[in-house]
Amino acid sequence: MALRKVWSLTPQVTCNLKKICILLESSQAGDAIALNNDNINQLLTRNDLVFVNFYADWCRFSQILSPTFDEASRKISEEFPEPGRVTFAKVDCDREVTIASNYRISKYPTLKLFRNGQVVKKEYRGQRSVDAIVSFIRDELKDPVIEHANLDEMDELETKKRHIIGYFESKDSENYRTFVRVASVLRDDCQLHAAFGPVSAPERTGGDSLIFRPPNTQRQDVVYTGSINNFEQLYQWAFDKCVPLVREITFENAEELTEEGLPFLILFHHPDDEQIVETFNKEVVKQLIGEKSNVNFLIADGTKFTHPLHHLGKKIDDLPVLAIDSFRHMYIFPHNVKTDLEKPGLLKQFIDDLHSGKLHREFHHGPDPTTADPIPPAPNDQNEAEEKKAEHIPKSTDDDIQPQQFQQQQRLTEPPESTFKKLAPSRNRYTILRDEL
């Protein structure tokens, strides 16, 4: 009787066991694991690296990639068989609508990388061949931390980059293991360094320690005061330091920036004008820190991005130029960038006018009314004389405007079309599900 009770499994338990068996069989075979709402969180958090193919069965490009992706998965599983190191996975976006929506999938196939459960913003855009994918994963599995045997080397770090430096008693410690996890996630945004044992002793008077070194500084370090073995706390601190509020847009990263779906606030500057870039960074932090989830703050080399400048009616001689690209239209900052950028509230008002629709509305219909019409001054003899002289001038009306004049007037009030939306993903590589831009 007892045995019957033990083996009389409920349908729910039987179903769960089947799911586990399927998962294990797929993993053992080395094929990509199918993700769903039941297993995605566990799979992402229990592996250092997860490479995910978001696909649709009906998509021709997805069909072409599928056997290549599975073969790359098998090769990587043979080369790195340690559990929890790396896993290939796939999401059928027609079935797993919630997962596809959570990761804003708008084209098929989309290849996303997850490091320690955190999605990497930069998608895989390399060649879709077995060798290229395997090579990409090999590079991702390399140690993200640069080890130093001499503290003097810390004074020779590249000044243009952001650095996080860890001083540890031992590599075999929970503190360092947590540091490596954070380093793996942020390897594209910061250079991470470590020194151990006697070498690091002068910097460990109070135990293991971490510092952040901002770009273009020397020993102007920011000390981490939290718990080093707390992954969430350390990651948040490192993320805030490593991922700048203002980023540079280039021809190489423009597509991935447009895919984030946020309007651009772009400062087009001359590469020799470092002062305006510094001022822009400072004012974005001061005025727009609350808008970081709504707008992408960018700088662009105006000598390279001449096409957007041309759309705005500007030339290299007009730099610096500040503009918003909403992916529908482009709007120029209505003040002098050199002299007015630091004036309190002007930059914030520019963004507020985008959100409220004022920028688009005023381009089409002229300035919004602000205050009631002022009371006219009392007439005097000179005013009356001038009014009498002007009586013979007919008042123009909209009906008097000729078609050609109207077209010219309309062109003046129509904001320039977005240029960066043209840098969106190519339809020769993806099936575009919907146009986000």
Quick one: what percent of the chain has pLDDT higher than 70?
A: 78
pLDDT band at 428 (very low <50, low <70, confident <90, very high): low
Q: What is residue 253's predicted lDDT score, i.e. its pLDDT?
A: 87
Query: pLDDT tens for residues 111-140?
Result: 999 999 999 878 898 999 999 999 999 999
Give me the percent of the chain exceeding a pLDDT of 90: 64
Domain spanning 145-242: which CATH class is it, in words?
A: alpha beta
Looking at per-residue pLDDT, the higher value among 149 and 262 belongs to 149
Kindly state the average pLDDT of the residues 250-256.
Answer: 87
Model confidence pLDDT, tens digit, residues 28-46: 457 899 999 999 999 999 9
What does the pLDDT read at residue 261? 78
Report pLDDT for 360: 84
> How high is the pLDDT of residue 59?
96
Using pLDDT thresholds of 50, 70 and 90, give the confidence band for residue 404: very low
Query: 161 or 260, which is more confident?
Result: 161
- In this chain, the answer to whether the domains covering 33-141 and 247-365 adopt an identical fold is yes
**What confidence tens digit (pLDDT) does each residue in 316-356 have?**
999 999 999 998 899 999 999 999 999 999 999 999 999 99
Q: What is the structure's pLDDT at 218?
A: 82
Which residue would you say has higher pLDDT here, 430 or 16?
Answer: 430
Predicted pLDDT at 388: 42
Mean pLDDT calculated for residue range 364-371: 69
- Mean pLDDT of the 407-432 span: 57
**Which pLDDT score, from 0 to 100, does residue 152 have?**
94
> What was the pLDDT predicted at 66?
96
Domain range annotation of the chain: 33-141, 145-242, 247-365
Indicate if the pLDDT at residue 78 is higher than 90: yes
Residue 104 has a pLDDT of: 81
Confidence of residue 408 (pLDDT cuts 50, 70, 90): very low
CATH of region 247-365: 3.40.30.10
Query: What superfamily does domain 33-141 belong to in CATH?
Result: Glutaredoxin (3.40.30.10)
Confidence at 406, pLDDT banded by 50, 70, 90? very low
Instruction: Output the pLDDT for position 293.
Output: 80
Residues 6+ apart with CB under 8 A from 24: none
Looking at residue 276, its pLDDT comes to 97
pLDDT at 18: 46
Looking at residues 426-435, what average pLDDT do you find?
58
